[in-house]
Amino acid sequence: MTDVSKQESIAAAGAVYYLFGATGDLARRKLFPALFSLYKEGKLAEDFAVVGLARRPRTNEQFREDVHESIKEFCRYKVDDALWSKFAEHFVYMPLDINNVEGFRELKGLTEQLDAKFGIPGNRLFYLALAPDLFGPVSFNLRDGGLLETQGWSRLVIEKPFGYDLESARKLNKQLNQVFQEEQIYRIDHYLGKEMVQNIQVLRFSNAFFEPLWNNKHIANVQITLAETVGVEERGGYYDKSGALRDMVQNHLLQMLSMIAMEPPSRLHPEDIRDEKVKALRSLRPFATDEEVARNVVRGQYTAGALKGKDLTGYREEDSVNPESKTETYVGARVFVDNFRWAGVPFYIRTGKRLPVKTTEVVIEFKNVPDNVLFANRHDLSPNLLVIRVNPMEGIYIKINAKKPGVDNVIQPVSMEFCQSCQIGINTPEAYERLIYDAARGESTYFTRWDEVAQAWAFVDRMAQAWREDNSELHTYAAGSWGPARMDEMLEEDGFFWWPVNGQEEDNVIWISGSSK
Question: What are the residue numbers of the active site?
Answer: 252
Q: Hey, which residues does 49 pair with through a beta bridge?
A: 16
Among 47, 66, 240, 247, binds ligand BG6 (CB under 6 A): 247
Contact status, residue 228 vs residue 353, Cβ threshold 8 Å:
yes
Residue 42: CB minimum distance to ligand BG6, A = 26
Q: Which of 126, 199, 206, 92 is nearest to 429 (CA)?
A: 199
Q: CA-CA-CA-CA torsion for 348, 477, 245, 395, nearest 10 degrees?
A: -50
Where would I find the beta strands (DSSP E) of 166-277?
185-187, 219-227
Residue 452: CB minimum distance to ligand BG6, A = 16
Residue 399: CB minimum distance to ligand BG6, A = 24
Pick 26 or 260: Cβ nearer ligand BG6: 26
Residue 459: CB minimum distance to ligand BG6, A = 18
Q: Which of 338, 293, 336, 301 is nearest to 318 (CA)?
A: 301
Count of positions on this chain that bind ligand BG6 (CB under 6 A):
4
Pick 221 or 223: Cβ nearer ligand BG6: 223
Pick 253 or 439: Cβ nearer ligand BG6: 253
Residue 255: CB minimum distance to ligand BG6, A = 11
Helix, strand or coil for residue 235? helix
- Amino acid (one-letter) located at 272: D
Q: Does 47 bind ligand BG6 (CB under 6 A)?
A: no
Q: Hey, which residues does 92 pair with through a beta bridge?
A: 51
Contact status, residue 494 vs residue 346, Cβ threshold 8 Å:
yes
Q: Output the CA–CA distances (angstroms, integers) from residue 182 to 177, 188, 257, in the order listed.
A: 7, 14, 23
Pick 247 or 438: Cβ nearer ligand BG6: 247
Where do runs of H (alpha helix) occur along 227-358? 236-244, 254-261, 270-282, 290-296
Q: Hey, which residues does 301 pair with through a beta bridge?
A: 476
Pick 238 or 497: Cβ nearer ligand BG6: 238
Contact status, residue 272 vs residue 446, Cβ threshold 8 Å:
no
Q: Does 240 bind ligand BG6 (CB under 6 A)?
A: no
Q: Output the CA–CA distances (angstroms, integers) from residue 499 to 178, 225, 496, in the order listed.
A: 47, 10, 9
Site for ligand BG6 in 333-372 (CB under 6 A): 360
CB atoms within 10 A of CB 3: 6
Helix, strand or coil for residue 294? helix
Q: Which residue of this chain has its Cβ atom nearest to ligand BG6 in the complex?
A: 247
Sequence-distant contacts of 113-118: CB under 8 A, at least 24 apart: 114/16, 114/49, 114/51, 115/16, 117/49, 118/14, 118/46, 118/47, 118/48, 118/49, 118/90
Q: How far apart are CA 137 and CA 139, in angstroms?
A: 5
Residue 249: CB minimum distance to ligand BG6, A = 11
Site for ligand BG6 in 50-69 (CB under 6 A): none
Residue 228: CB minimum distance to ligand BG6, A = 5
Pick 189 or 365: Cβ nearer ligand BG6: 189
CB atoms within 10 A of CB 179: 20
Pick 391 or 445: Cβ nearer ligand BG6: 391
Phi/psi at 223 (5° precision): -125, 125
Q: Does 391 bind ligand BG6 (CB under 6 A)?
A: yes
Residue 413: CB minimum distance to ligand BG6, A = 29
Q: How far apart are CA 62 and CA 165, in angstroms?
A: 39
Residue 439: CB minimum distance to ligand BG6, A = 17
Site for ligand BG6 in 395-424 (CB under 6 A): none
- Amino acid (one-letter) located at 212: P
Among 47, 228, 240, 417, binds ligand BG6 (CB under 6 A): 228
Q: Which residues does 186 contact at the CB level (< 8 Å), separation at least 6?
A: 155, 156, 157, 158, 435, 438, 439, 444, 447
Q: How far apart are CA 73 and CA 85, in angstroms?
A: 17
Pick 228 or 433: Cβ nearer ligand BG6: 228
Pick 115 or 228: Cβ nearer ligand BG6: 228
Residue 127: CB minimum distance to ligand BG6, A = 16
Pick 173 or 360: Cβ nearer ligand BG6: 360
Q: Which residues does 452 contact at the CB level (< 8 Å), separation at least 6?
A: 255, 258, 274, 277, 278, 281
Q: x-or-dash pattern for ligand BG6, window 132-161, by CB under 6 A?
A: ------------------------------
Applying CB under 6 A, the residues found at the interface with ligand BG6 are 228, 247, 360, 391
